Every structure is written in structure tokens, then in C-alpha cells.
Amino acid sequence: MNERTALQNAKRKTVSYAKWGYIFILPFFVVYLCFTLIPQFLTIYNSFFENYRDGLTQIGPNFVGLENYKALFTADSAGTVRILKYLANTMIMWFVGALPQFVIAMLLAIFFTSYRLNIKGQGFFKTVIYMPNLIMAAAFSMLFFTLFSRVGPIQMLLTKWGWIDASFDFFSHRVTVRGMIALMNFLMWFGNTTIVLMAGIMGIDQALFESATLDGANATQVFFRVTLPLLMPIFVYCLITALIGGIQMFDVPQVLTKGNGAPDELSRTLVMYLNGYLTTKNYGMAGAISVIIFIITGVLGGFVYRMLTAQYRDPGRQHRQRKGDVL
Amino acid sequence: MKKMIAILLAAIMLLGVVGCAAKPAAPAAAEQGKVFNIYAWNEEFKGFFEKYYTVPEGVTVNWIINPSDNGVYQQKLDEALLNQANASADEKIDMFLAEADYIGKYVDSDYTMDVTSFGFKNADTQYEYTIKAASDKNGVCKGVSFQCCPAAVIYRKSIAMDVLGTDEPEEVQAAIDSWEKFNAVAAQAKEKGYYMTASFAETFRAFSNNCTKPWVDENNNLQFDDQITAWIDQTDEFIQNGYTLTAGVWDTEKTNQMFADGKTMCFFGPAWYYNFCMTNAQDPDNGCVGDWRIVEGPQPYFWGGTWLLAATGSDNTEMLKDIFETFTVNEDVCSKLVENENQYPNNTAVVEKYANDPSYGNTSILDGQNDIAVFANLAQNIKWENHTNYDQLLNEGLQNKLQEYYNGSVDKETAMKNFYNYVKETYANINVPEA
């Protein structure tokens, strides 16, 4: 009797709870499989077919091999390969917005987490800087469209002050249109980045900062020698997610330029191009663009990851290098 | 529990079978649906529908409204139509609205049904072109239009007085009855500090609806009609000389020109233009009601028009018939459309009544001029020909891409290249020159 209870107890002790872990994450994987992974393969599959609608008549799907890709990389009458042009547009607009986004988010994150500054009313500021992210991108874009339109308040004010000519049109200049898009992306996302970076910084052991200060390190040294290296995983995460979001930029420029990507399609992004093909449900061409966006995202993401984490990935090498320096 | 679910499922299946079996047995007239779904791209017709049509008791009307820009409305509608066969009776589209630019796409398909199948008969009072537009290649009519859209030149009296020294319609018409004369008056207006039109695309429809060949030939090659080229030439001249603005037809910058302090002499539009585009002119504080008159202008044309099409699979055929009759043959409703809504109805009897009535005049925008008489003259010239299913996006795309040329951000060659690229992208089956 006693023996059996002991055995039972022993058994109970070795019961694995790990399976519950799998059960709890199962829904995610099922959803991921159905709504992301399978569609992803279908997209690749579709990109090899001619498949669109002419009015209400379905054309195809007819297997065409790599024709869709060939069409994408064929130059038009002026010698422009459009997909490369749109890729450049996308990356320029993303970069112009992301640069201030990260600089300012980093500064704010450091201010807010500094035990020496000890800023009051943090909750308030954090809420306020996050707010632009709560507005729907399309609504935000519509707001800018109205503000900067030919008959909008900004045009009127600047004309009144004599800064611009009355005939100036914010939507017919490359710099202003791209600038507006970058500004919107910056405004919408810097709060989000600030909060993630703050979380990252707060995860660092305070004792490290204190001991660095005691050892006589100034604020700059603390930032570059302590904060930044320890924050790197979070920073890379932020940068890669921002990059992926940037490559998929769509609603802001779409609404701002009414889908035209004016002027001269210089604010047209890759996904706007993709969307253009969906007017006639052209799944072949749209699929090919999607695959290319996927490859670009993968390559750029991998590149950023490798570049930024190179010196942290192999501690041994770092150690050896240090030794070499000393010797 | 499992048993209950099984029983429930079985019951639902049985119901389905019974439902399917019952339908063909009962005549269509017997069972009418309780939900009436209408697809539309704006609220215009919804307003008239709610005012002048009495919905039968127990029927709920659902409006599904998507904007027309960039083909969004067509995309959503197509999606719903392709799913029509699988949708439950209450979710099926019963009626949808279509515009002149793409009505053919739906009329020539099986997604619309013959109006005679539910007992509607086109009346002699309907304008012939409206019937032709709603008929497929074999002449089977699939819907009706509640309006007829002959379009005119709507001009500001005070500005015409200043520019031409007269605001009498006969004399104004004599001064602009050809494009050469129209362009010459534009120069005069410019000298006096006015614009002839307020949008580079204002005259587009006057040209494009007089095309002698469709946008696409029988081999699916894109082609430019002489009328389109003529429009581009005229607009080049207008922009160069500052006779017009670089705003699009629907832009605020243009509609702001309709306020009392606007500097624009002419606008181009049919009767629906009053309420749809000229709300600024009717502004109680800054508007200028009564400072407007209409004339036939340089070239008779029509613009747009909203057709009501019967969707195949509708279970509210009685209501469809009723709606079609209300907005075409019902003289009482058509008269109200004229008197209260400034519409030009699709009913020649009503039109004649007002055209010949010396006491009738439009005072809600115009100065009491009998605009119906002017429109009635224009309506005789409307022909329905040379349309393709691609018209909406081609017209829209050409204007959008050329607008960039007119506001100075690209040269003409680039603008045209962008247009060709746009066509190629939007319609894979259209052959585009050198793109």
C-alpha cells in the first residue's frame, strides 16, 4: 500500500507540464499555418500563372513560368525598370522617416529612464508620444492631405507670410511629397519605438550604470559602452520590424496621393504597385511582386541583423581581439 | 450535448433541403425576400429613394456604399456578384447602381437579369439611349436610369456681362457655339482677370462623349480618338495661357470657384451637377444663387448618369419592378425630381410639361431660366456608342497622369508614358503602344 503511494507520488513528480506549453501555443501555430504560411506558398505558386479578370470574365490561370518576373524587370519605353524605381522610393521615404525616429526615440528613452534626471509625469509624456500611433494611418494621411492642399490652411499661411508663391503645390514636388510621407511615418512610430527601447533599457541591471559612473565614466561613455551594447538585441529587433514595416509602406502614400504616387510616381511604393495590379485581380503579377518584396525583406533583414550583431554574436572573438589589443 | 448539436445540424440541413425543394415549386411572385440590398457608390440616389419610394412593410433596405475612385466600387461589387450564387437569400444583391463608364461590363453579363422577367416594361417616355445603355448585345434590357444627362455650359451671369457685355443666353451661346469661339472668349476672359474654366479637365466630357471610336479597338489595342487629342490640345493651350486651373474636376480648388468671389465664367455639367458639384454656389452666405444661366455650349454632349440594374438571383422582384416604375413612368415622382431636386428625369412626358411651361423656372441655382427646355434640346442629340468597359479607369487615369504635366511636375512625354504604364498595369489584356 505504502509502496504504491510512493510510486504514484514519484510518477506524479515526473509528470511533464511541457505539453501544456505546446497546447497553449498551438492556436498561434494553427492560425499562422492557415493564414500566413499556406497563403505564402500559394502566392509563390500563383506568381507563375497568368491569372486576372477582364471585367467579370476570369482569364487563366495559365502557367507561364517566369514570364511575370520577366515583365516586372523589363524596362519601359523610357528605360526605367519600374519595380526598382518603386523600391528606391520606398527605401528613401522609409530612411528619411526612420532616421529621426530612432535618434529621437533613443534620446527620449534615455531621458525617461535616467535615474539622475528622474523626469516627472512620465506616464503623461509616454501616453502623448504614443498617441499618433493610435490614429488610423489613412485618417492621418487624409489630415495631412487637407492641411497641405492647395486650398488648405498651411498653403494659406505660408503664402500670407510670403514664404512660398501662391501657385506652389505641395503635391507636385518630390521633396515635399516624400517629406510629408516620411514625417507622418516618423510621427506615427517614434512613440512606439521609444517605449520599446525604454523597456529594453529598464531591463539592464541598474548596478552596471552605477558602477560605470563610480568608475568615472561620463554620460556619453555610459551610453556607448554600457547602454548601447546591452540594448543591441532590442535595438536590432526595433530596426528590423521598422524596416519590414517600411518596405510594406502603403496606406499613408496611397491616401495622400490618391493612389497616384505623384509626382511622376516618385512617391509610389512597392505595395502601391502591387495594389495597382489587384484592380483586375491580377494574382499572377501581384504574386510576383509579393515574392520579390519577400526576398528583399529577407535579404535586408538578414543584412541588418548580421551587421549590427556581428561583434556580439561571437564573444570569444571579441575576447581574443581585446587580448590582441593589449598585447 | 453532442447529440443536441447533431440534431440541430440535421435540422438545419433538412431545412435547407426543404427550402431548396420549395423554391422552384412556388412561383417567383409568391415569396418575396425581407431584405433588399443595394450597391451604390454615393448617397445621391439613396436620397431620392428614401424620399420618393415607399418601401413595402417588413422589408429592410440595406445600402452598401463604396467610393468610385480607383475602381473601388467596381471591385467590391464584382466580389459580391461573383459570390451571388453562394450568398444566402438575404445577402444577395437585389439591385445595384452603375455609371455610363462601365455599365456595359455588367449589362453584358449573366449577373444582371432581364427586366421583362419580372414584368417591367420600358415606356415610350424613356429616353432611348438610356435603354440602349442598359441593354446587352442582344437587346435584352437589364435596368433603367432614373435620369437623363444631357450636359450644358453653366455660366456666371455677372462674369459673362463683364467679358462679353451681355448675359443673355442667346447671345452668350452665339459667342461660344464652337470650340474656336470658345477659346477666343477664354482669351477675352483672361484679359479681364477671369478664368474660362476652373479645372483642366472641365471640358473633358464634352470631347470624350463625342468620340467616334472606342478607347480600345477590336484587337484590344489602345487608341486615341481625335476628340481626346483635341481635348489635350485645348487643355495645353488653356494651361499655357492661364485660362484654367490645374485642379481636377472634383477638387476643392475648383469648387471654391463657385463661391460669389470666384473668378470662373464657365462650368460644364448636366442637371445632376447642380446638387452634386455646385453646393458652394448655393451657400447661403458666400454663394451666388441666381447668378447662373445655362446654354448649349460649343458641342452637345452628355455626362454620366446612374442606372439601376436588376441583379440575377434577387428575391425581391416585385420591389424591383416597383422601384423601376417609380423612377421612370411615375409622372408624379418624376415631376418632384424636377421641382424639388433639380433633376432632369428620364420621362419625356414630364420633360415636355416643364419645357413648355412658361411659369417654370429654376430658381434654386439659376435666375429662373427654364433649364429643362435647354436640356430637352440637348437630349435629342445623345447617342450611345463607342463605349467600352474600361472607360472609367482610362478616363480617370488619363486625367490623373496629365494633371502632373499640367501642374508642371513632369513633361508631357513622361506623363503619357506613366499613363501607358498605368493602362498596362490596370488592364493586362489591353495592348499599349511602346510601353
Q: CB distance B418–A82 less than 8 Å?
A: no
Q: CB distance A172–B407 less than 8 Å?
A: yes
Nearest to B435 among A77, A174, A258 (CB): A77
| Residue B45, min C-alpha distance to chain A (Å) | 24
Distance between CA atoms of residues B48 and B348, nearest Å? 19
Distance between CA atoms of residues B77 and A249, nearest Å? 27
pLDDT number for residue A313? 62
C-alpha cell of residue B88: 444566402
pTM: 0.83
pLDDT number for residue B408? 87
| Residue A50, min C-alpha distance to chain B (Å) | 10
Report B:157-216 residues touching A (Cβ under 8 A): none
pLDDT number for residue A317? 53
The reply to whether B410 touches chain A by the CB within 8 Å rule is yes
Q: CB distance B404–A77 less than 8 Å?
A: no
DSSP B117-132: GGT----TTS-HHHHH
Ranges assigned E (strand) in B232-321 = 266-270, 292-295, 301-302, 306-310
Please write the tens of the pLDDT for every residue from B356-374: 999 999 999 999 999 999 9
Q: Mean pLDDT of residues grouped by 10 in chain B (435 residues)?
A: 56 48 42 90 93 91 90 90 89 93 90 92 90 91 93 94 93 94 94 94 92 90 93 94 92 92 94 91 91 93 92 91 92 92 92 92 91 92 87 92 91 91 90 75
Could you give all domains of chain B from N- to C-terminal order, each with its CATH number? 30-148+305-353 (3.40.190.10), 150-300+360-426 (3.40.190.10)
Q: Which residues of A touch B81 (CB under 8 A)?
A: 56
C-alpha cell of residue B111: 449577373
Which DSSP symbol is given to B197? -
Helix axes B391-406, B412-426, angle to 10 degrees: 160
| Residue B340, min C-alpha distance to chain A (Å) | 32
Q: CB distance A77–B256 less than 8 Å?
A: no
Q: What sections of B26-135 are H helices per DSSP?
A: 44-52, 72-82, 103-107, 128-133
Distance between CA atoms of residues A163 and B275, nearest Å? 37
- H or E segment and range at residue A12: helix A2-13
C-alpha cell of residue B359: 411659369
| Residue among B3, B63, B92, B66 at smallest CA distance from B310 | B92
Which DSSP symbol is given to B60? E
- Does residue B262 contact residue B283 with C-beta atoms inside 8 Å? no
Please write the tens of the pLDDT for every residue from B313-343: 999 999 999 999 999 999 999 999 999 999 9
The reply to whether A165 touches chain B by the CB within 8 Å rule is no
- B65: region left, alpha or beta (phi > 0 left; psi from -120 to 50 alpha): beta
| Residue B109, min C-alpha distance to chain A (Å) | 7
B interface mutation test: which of A51, A58, A76 has the most B CBs within 10 A?
A76
C-alpha cell of residue A26: 498551438
Nearest to B425 among A50, A56, A276 (CB): A276
pLDDT number for residue B159? 95
Q: Are strands B93-99 and B60-65 parallel, antiparallel or unpaired?
A: unpaired
Q: CB distance A264–B409 less than 8 Å?
A: yes
The reply to whether A271 touches chain B by the CB within 8 Å rule is no
Domain spanning A81-279, CATH class? mainly alpha
Please write the tens of the pLDDT for every residue from B390-427: 998 999 999 999 999 998 889 999 999 999 999 998 99
